[in-house]
Structures are given as structure tokens and as C-alpha cells.
């Protein structure tokens, strides 16, 4: 029997990582959650509360951590690189503490330096962190971007040199964002577009897809703009999400929304995805 993908969302943790996160999860009808454990737009690191960590770990809810958006292992700035190392190391440690399945990190940009130099820098600085992940700890989930600027990884095909730069480390896995993939040129709305995209992903990195960020797109395919829309309300449309959940590469892979709005809108998006999955 084909494993079923759990459907959930990024949740508010106001009131505590477990107390707030699990409450929001219930409000939106989620089956899994993604959380921030630090300010997503800063470098400040903080320790969790052991009681909240234990409560979340013991809940049995599949949880994922998203590290701050500023992380960039391809940056020519020594300060950004040092902060990126510290933030990802912290995120992986927090992942162990809360029993997270994976820690999501954006794949970054070369900014102003040559791409080869940025990939070499990625090898030298991210590979040691992958080696530090303990047995039973979370995978590091690499999330390709929308293709704007000097991004190191946007299309599915970009994952091949990126993973090669990490020596195809077994803990280097993938989080695919549907809005990013669409913006980077994968036409998920076209007939056969979902199949083509996930066939290519499976051919390049079989078994490494561990999470999907299910987001519709406010912009057209190939626009290289990262603007999420509610499921079915954007240029991807609802049906491709149903097609995606029937692709063999997606079997059993959790699906997490990061769509606009608050709890009522998130509940609608999750209900629609469940209908597409179960219908």
C-alpha cells in the first residue's frame, strides 16, 4: 500500500513551541507542523524551554524546523558565513531536542562571487555540519529558491551540482517548494508538468525528498518571484497539487503549507489539499 502524505502547515508558536504550536495545529486541521525556533529575520539564537521541547517531542507530531531566511553559505561576506554556520548548527541541535524530522535551509546565493567559489565555500562549511548530525537526528533539508539573482539552486536540475558540492552526503536531503519551482520555470500547471518535475527530481536525487512546501503562486511560471498564494487561488491552480500527491516520488512525503492569511485561510488550504489527496 502506498504511504499517505501527511498534510499540515507552518504554525504560530505564540504561547510556547508546543503549547502554541499544537494549539494552532488543531485550529487548522494539520497532521504535521513546521516551526521557527528563532526570529526568522535575524541572527539571534536562543535556547528552548525544556518543558515545551519535551511536550512537543512526546506528542508524536511530525515536526520540522525552518532556520532563519538570512542563512547563506554562498555569501562572500565572512560575517554572513559565520552567522550561517552558527544558525544552522543551532537549528540542528534544536531539532534533536524537539525530535524534529528535518531542518529546512534555503540553498543561498553566490551574491557577487563566482558560482564555483560559492559552491566550494558550501562544501567547506556546510559539509562539517552534516557530519555532526547524530544518528536519529534530523536531516538537513535543502530548499531551492525561486531563481532570482545569483541563486545557487532554483531548478530541480540545479540540485545535482549542489548535492555534488556536499559529496552527496546522506543527511543532505530536499525540501521542494512548489511556488519556488514554478517561479524557477517548472510549469506545474501545464499538462504533464508535475510528472516531469518530480520524475526529474527522482532521477537526480532518489529518496532524498523529505518535505514539500505546498504554495500556489501569485506570479506566472518562470517569473523568478517568490510570492506565495493560497492553494487554488494562484497561477498553479488546485489540480496540480492533487497530481503531485499521486506521484510515486511524493508517496509518504509530508506536505506543509506556507500560504497567506491566518488560521481560517490555512484551515481552508489544508482542507482542500486533504480533499485532493483523499478524493
Annotated binding site: 66, 106, 143, 177, 180, 213, 226, 228, 258
Residue from 175, 33, 45 nearest 98 by CA = 33
- Nearest CA among 249, 76, 68, 62 for reference residue 173: 249
Q: Hunting for cell 553559505 — which residue is that? A: 73
Inter-residue contact 201 to 174 (CB < 8 Å): yes
Quote the CA–CA distance of 164 and 116 in Å, as a whole number.
12
Binding-site members for Zn(2+) are 66, 106, 143, 177, 180, 213, 226, 228, 258
Amino acid at each position: 500500500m502506498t504511504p499517505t502524505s501527511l498534510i499540515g502547515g507552518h504554525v504560530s508558536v505564540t504561547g510556547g513551541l508546543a503549547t502554541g504550536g499544537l494549539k494552532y495545529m488543531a485550529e487548522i486541521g494539520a497532521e504535521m507542523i513546521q516551526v521557527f525556533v528563532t526570529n526568522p529575520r535575524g541572527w539571534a539564537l536562543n535556547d528552548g524551554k525544556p518543558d515545551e521541547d519535551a511536550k512537543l517531542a512526546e506528542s508524536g507530531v511530525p515536526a520540522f524546523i525552518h532556520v532563519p531566511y538570512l542563512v547563506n553559505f554562498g555569501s562572500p561576506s565572512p560575517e554572513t558565513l559565520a552567522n550561517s554556520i552558527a544558525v544552522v548548527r543551532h537549528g540542528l541541535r534544536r531539532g534533536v531536542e524537539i525530535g524534529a524530522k528535518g531542518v529546512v535551509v534555503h540553498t543561498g546565493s553566490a551574491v557577487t562571487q563566482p558560482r564555483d567559489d560559492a559552491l566550494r565555500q558550501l562544501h567547506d562549511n556546510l559539509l562539517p555540519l552534516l557530519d555532526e548530525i547524530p544518528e536519529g537526528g534530523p536531516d538537513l533539508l535543502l530548499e531551492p529558491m525561486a531563481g532570482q539573482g545569483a541563486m545557487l539552486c532554483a531548478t530541480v536540475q540545479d540540485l545535482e551540482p549542489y548535492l555534488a558540492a556536499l559529496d552527496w552526503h546522506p543527511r543532505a536531503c530536499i525540501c521542494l517548494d512548489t511556488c519556488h519551482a514554478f517561479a524557477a520555470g517548472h510549469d506545474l500547471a501545464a499538462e504533464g508538468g508535475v510528472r516531469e518535475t518530480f520524475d526529474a527530481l527522482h532521477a537526480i536525487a532518489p529518496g532524498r525528498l523529505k518535505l514539500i512546501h505546498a504554495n500556489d503562486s501569485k506570479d506566472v511560471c518562470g517569473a523568478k518571484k517568490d510570492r506565495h498564494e493560497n492553494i487554488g487561488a494562484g497561477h498553479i491552480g488546485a489540480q496540480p497539487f492533487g497530481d503531485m500527491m499521486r506521484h510515486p516520488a511524493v508517496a509518504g512525503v509530508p506536505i506543509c503549507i506556507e500560504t497567506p492569511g491566518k488560521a481560517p485561510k490555512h484551515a481552508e488550504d489544508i482542507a482542500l489539499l486533504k480533499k485532493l489527496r483523499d478524493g
